[in-house]
Structure 1
Amino acid sequence: MTKFNDTILKAFRGEATDYTPVWYMRQAGRSQKEYRELKKKYSLFEITHQPELCAYVTRLPVEMYDVDAAVLYKDIMSPPLPSIGVDVEIKSGIGPVIDNPITSFRDVEKLGAIDPESDVPYVLDTIRLLTREQLNVPLIGFSGAPFTLASYMIEGGPSKNYHKTKAFMYSDTKAWFLLMDKLADMTITYVKAQVNAGAQVIQIFDSWVGALNVTDYRIYIKPIMNRIFSELRETNVPLIIFGVGASHLIKEWNDLPVDVIGLDWRLSISDARQLDVTKALQGNLDPAFLLADWQVVEQKTKQIIDEGKQHPSHIFNLGHGVTPEISPDRLKQLTEFIHHYSQQ
C-alpha cells in the first residue's frame, strides 16, 4: 500500500494543507460503469451485507478519481432503522419506503435500541476491511440526523413538503421529543461503533432539515443535535454536518460542536464567512455544473477554490451528491484540476 494521505484530515481540523482536498458525496456508485454492472446482480441491501463487495464499491472512486477520502457505501436508512423496529425498503426510483409510518406516541414508545455488533456487523466488518487493509486515504463514516430519519419514518417515504412530519412535531411535542431522543441514542451508538471499527471522519446528514425555519430549528432540533455532537466529540474524529436547502440555519450550525459545515450551492463560501461562520467549510459545486462544458466547470471551480483559500479551512465537494448522469471521466478531470489549481 502507498503512503497514507492524511491531507483531508488536516483540512477538517483547520490545519494548513499543500492543496485543497476533495471528496464527493455519493462518489461510491451512481455513475460508475463497474457499479452499474454490480447492480444488475445485487441490490443495495445485498451489497452492503457483503463486506468484500461493499469495500470494493467504497474503494472504487478512490482508485478511479484519486479523491482524498473514501465514504462508506451504505444508505442512511436501511442499516440502522430495522435494528430499532422500522421496516425499510429501498425502492428503485423512489428511495426509502416505510410501510408502518409513525403516527402516535405509542408508535414511538415501541422503538428499540441498536446494538451495532449484533445488528449491523457487516457495516463494521466493511470498515475494518477498508481501514486495515485497503485504503491509503481516510474513510468517512456517516449517519442520518434525527429530523431527516424522522421525516421518512413519519411520511412513510420521501416528501416534498414534510407536512406530516411538521404537523406531528407541532401537535404532539411529547412524542416528538421522545422520538428525537431515541434517534439521537441510535445515532450516537451507531456512529461510535463506526469509529471504533476504524472510520476516521463522521458526517451527519440532516438532509431535509432545511424544511424548518430558524425558530423551529432552535426549539425542536438544535438541542438534540448539540447532544449528539457533544457526545461524539469523545471519539476525537472530525465531525461534519450537512443539509440541503439549509443556508438559513448556517449560524445555528456554527454554534454546534462540529468541525466542518457542509454547504450546498445556495450559499457561497464568501457569503458564509460574511455571516461570521468560523468552522471549516466543505463544498459546494452544484452537481448540475458537471453536465456543462468543461470551461464552465473550470471557471466555477476556480471561484470556489479561491473563496475557500481566503480562510482556513476548505474541503472541496459538491453541493449535493453525484447524480447517475455525471460522467466518471468528468469527476476524474475535476479532481485533477482541483489538486493542480489549488497548489498554485
Structure 2
Amino acid sequence: MKAKRVYAIGVLVLVFLVWSSVGLAAGLEKVRASHQPCMHALPTILCQKLGWFKELGIDVSFHYYSSGMPQVEAGLAGEWDVGAIGTSPAFFAGMRHNFPIIACSNDESVTNNVMVRKKDYKRLTQNPKKALKGTTWLVSTISTGHHVVLAYLDSIGLPERDIKIVHMEQPAILSAFIAGQGDVAQTWAPFNYLHEREGEVVLAHGKMVNTVVPGAVIATKKFANEHPDLVAKWLQGYMKGVHYMISEPFKSAKYLQDYYKEVGIDLTYEEVLKEFKLRPLFGIYDQLMLFSREETPYSTYDKWIDSLGDFYLKVKRIKEKPDVRTFITDKFLKMVEADMMKMR
C-alpha cells in the first residue's frame, strides 16, 4: 500500500513538473531570429542551447536562410523579427525599408577574400595590372565581397571593365573554381577554408586593401517599433553569446563546427578555429564605442556602412547615397547596457 502511495505521489510530481514547464514556456514572449550559414549565427545558437534566452523571459525560434537578400525578403513578409546578416543586404534593408542596424556582429575584413590557384599566384602578382587584364572572376555580385574585389582592382589600377565578372553564389563558386572555371574567385568564410583545402591562396582581402567589412545585427522596422523591449532582450542574449565566444573560443568552436555540419558545411575543428582568429568580435562596450556619435557627427560604424554607399554609387546600383544614420542606431545597445547595469 505504501509503495502504491509513493508511486502515486511520484506521478503527481511528474505531472506537476510537466505542467509547470509547459506553463513557463507558454509564458515566454516569442522572438523569431534569422540567420545564415555564418559565424554570426552562433550567439543565438549558444543562447538557445545554454538556456540564456529563457532566463531573459523570451522564447527564440531559429529561422535559416542561405543568403542575405532572401533573408531580407522574408523579413518584409513578416517571417522573422531580428537577426544577423551581411552589411550589403543590411544596407539595402535599411535604405529601402528602414530596417534598423542595431549592432555589429563581427569584423569580416580578413575573411572576405580574392583567391587564386597556387600555380598562378606568382605570375599574377609580379605585374597584377597586366596579368589580370582580361581574366574571368567568379563573384557573388552586389555584396561585401564584390566591394573587396573593386577595392583590390582600384589598388592595382585596373578598371572593372577590363575583367570579366561572372555572378555565382558562394557554393557554386567553390564547385566551379575546383572544376577549373575562372581565373579568380571571390570568397568569404566559411567557404574560403574549403578553397584553401584545394590549394588556393589569398591574393587579397579587405584589410589588405584598406576596406573594412563589418557584419550587421538588424531588426525589422515593424518589430523594432512595436516591441523594442523584446529586441533589447534578444540583443542582450546575443551579446551574452558574443561575450562567451570571446572568453571561450575553443568551446565555442565546437558549437560552430556542429552548426556548420548541420547546414552541410563539413569543416575540421582546426578550420573552424580560424573563424575565431580571423574575425574580431565586439563586446557590449566596444559596440557602444563603435556606434557612438558623441564626439563626431558620424560614428565609426556609420563610416564603415557609408563606404558601402560609395561602392554602390560606383557600380550604379543606387542613384544617391542615403544618410546611413537614419537606419543605424545605438538605442538597443544602450537598453542592453542599462539592463546589464541593473543586474550587477
Using structure 2 for the length normalisation, give the TM-score: 0.26
In terms of Rg, which structure is larger?
2
Q: Could you say which structure has the higher strand fraction?
A: 2
Q: Could you say which structure has the higher helix fraction?
A: 2
Using structure 1 for the length normalisation, give the TM-score: 0.26
